[in-house]
């Protein structure tokens, strides 16, 4: 039944139908069994003769690709509005849904709209008005009203690139720039790295502070000399070779 919890739902209506009996309602469907003032909301009842034929409006909010975005109630002889689909048959017995009138429904993809129909109510007296509802017409001296609402959009499962991830990527790139050349080979889509990946490749600061002090540094017994000291120690003037040539 379309109770208060149904009226306040934030989910849009995804399908509308008509049933012949309250006991034959499809699971997941709400039935508008009563008007807002508690009267029977039978859409088929005959005012002159008691009839065993009954018709009740029902709808569901089951999540699907499409939602209901508009409703129209037209005369059975009127031309069907563009983009609207009529509710021809009852869901439970496949009999005619209404007499003299046709309920027409307009559907649209959920992702393509921002608003849709959220609730449907029936009132027994046309002089009454429902706040935030729109009346589409009367049938058997009862008005059919619907309420529009926002369509909640599902968020993408892919999370946006976070600032932390961006910083981490920048730091990794910086380390690779400061390190040894990035030996990376692609073989059949598989990347391989050398054992020297991400090992810093820089000259020690003690060799960069003062070039004149380099001669005082001893590495594994090897004395570091300047260019002038090397030329002075190993200078050779080739005097013997020149004398022979003469």
Furthest-apart CA atoms within the chain: distance in Å: 146
Band of the pLDDT at 182, cuts 50, 70, 90? Answer: very low
133 vs 238, higher pLDDT: 133
Full residue range of the structural domain in which residue 57 is found: 15-150
- Within-domain flag for 222: no
- Within-domain flag for 40: yes
Count of domains forming the chain: 1
Is the Cβ–Cβ distance between 140 and 98 less than 8 Å?
no
Give me 60's structure tokens.
């569901």
* Out of 63-67, 152-156, 225-229, least confident range: 152-156
Tell me which range, 140-144, 160-164, 183-187, is most confidently predicted by mean pLDDT: 140-144
- Within-domain flag for 96: yes
Give me 72's structure tokens.
């129209």
141 vs 225, higher pLDDT: 141
- Within-domain flag for 213: no
pLDDT over 80 (residue 211): no
- Within-domain flag for 183: no
Band of the pLDDT at 6, cuts 50, 70, 90? Answer: low
Band of the pLDDT at 198, cuts 50, 70, 90? Answer: low
Is the Cβ–Cβ distance between 7 and 145 less than 8 Å?
no
- Within-domain flag for 234: no
Pairwise CA distance, residues 213 & 206, whole Å: 9
Is the Cβ–Cβ distance between 31 and 85 less than 8 Å?
no
Pairwise CA distance, residues 216 & 234, whole Å: 19
Give me 188's structure tokens.
């059949």
pLDDT over 80 (residue 74): yes
- Within-domain flag for 223: no
CATH number, residue 65: 2.100.10.50
- Within-domain flag for 6: no
How far is residue 60 CA from its own chain's centroid? 22
Per-residue pLDDT at 14: 97
């Amino acid at each position: 039944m379309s109770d208060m919890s149904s009226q306040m739902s934030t989910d849009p209506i995804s399908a509308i139908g008509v049933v012949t009996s309250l006991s034959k309602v499809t699971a997941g469907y709400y039935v508008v069994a009563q008007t807002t003032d508690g009267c029977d909301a039978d859409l088929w009842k005959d005012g002159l003769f008691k009839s065993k034929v009954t018709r009740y409006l029902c709808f569901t909010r089951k999540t699907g690709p499409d939602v209901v975005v508009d409703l129209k109630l037209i005369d059975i002889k009127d031309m069907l509005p563009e983009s609207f689909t009529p509710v021809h048959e009852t869901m439970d017995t496949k009999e005619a849904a209404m007499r003299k009138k046709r309920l027409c429904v307009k559907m649209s993809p959920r992702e393509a709209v921002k608003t849709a129909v959220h609730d449907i109510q029936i009132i027994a007296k046309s002089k009454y008005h429902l706040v935030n509802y729109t009346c589409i017409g009367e049938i058997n001296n009862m008005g059919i009203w619907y309420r529009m609402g926002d369509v909640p959009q599902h968020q993408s499962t892919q999370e946006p690139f976070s600032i932390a991830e961006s910083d981490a990527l920048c730091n990794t790139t910086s380390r690779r720039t400061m390190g040894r050349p990035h030996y990376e080979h692609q073989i059949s889509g598989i990347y391989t790295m050398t054992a020297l990946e991400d090992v810093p490749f820089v000259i020690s600061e003690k060799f960069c502070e003062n070039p004149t002090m380099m001669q005082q540094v001893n590495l594994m017994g090897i004395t570091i000399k300047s260019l002038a000291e090397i030329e002075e120690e190993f200078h050779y003037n080739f005097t013997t070779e020149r004398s022979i040539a003469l």
